[in-house]
Amino acid sequence: MEPIGHRRWAIADGYLPAWSHGPEPEMVSHESVNILNAGPTDARVELMLYFEDRPPAGPYRLTVPAMRTVHQRINDLDPPVPTNLGYACVITADVPVVVQHTRLDSRQAENALFSTLAAPG
């Protein structure tokens, strides 16, 4: 059976909050791109970032080993992604993967949280 997932995904609402409350590292405002590679071959993954007012950035490259997941904090990408600036992201992989996008926003004393499936295509 074909490994579950798709080779291309997109996230339209990226945004790194600019400040935080609470203990590090768990409660730092952050976003993560969560990638599952349930197949038998390592996945070479590229992230391209799109902005409102400037050219795209990337590709950022990472490997998701076979039968593993990587929960990549966007805050940890190098070169860094600007905070308090909307962005979007296209994720491409050379084998099928599954992508979910999560934000923890602790700008106020109690954290807010969302997660959503990325858009396959």
Residue 60 CB, nearest approach to a second copy (Å): 15
> Contact between 35 and a second copy (CB under 8 A)?
yes
Restricted to residues 43-102, the positions that interact with a second copy (CB under 8 A) are: 48, 50-53, 55-56, 67-71, 84, 86-88, 90, 96, 98-102
Q: Which helix (H) or strand (E) holds 46?
A: strand 43-51
User: How far from chain centre, in Å, is Cα 68?
Assistant: 16
Owner of token pair 């409350």: 21
What six digits make up the tokens of 48?
């391209």
| DSSP-derived secondary structure letter, 26 | T
If one counts every other C-beta atom within 10 angstroms of the C-beta of residue 69, the result is 15
Report the nearest approach of a second copy to the CB of residue 9 (Å).
8
Residue 99 CA to chain centroid, in angstroms? 8
- State which of residues 80, 83, 94, 114 lies at the interface with a second copy (CB under 8 A): 114
CB of 18 to a second copy, least distance (A): 8
Q: Does 29 bind a second copy (CB under 8 A)?
A: no
Q: Rounded to whole angstroms, how far apart are CA atoms 119 and 77?
A: 21
Residues that bind a second copy (CB under 8 A): 4-6, 8-13, 15, 17-18, 22, 26-27, 32, 34-38, 48, 50-53, 55-56, 67-71, 84, 86-88, 90, 96, 98-121
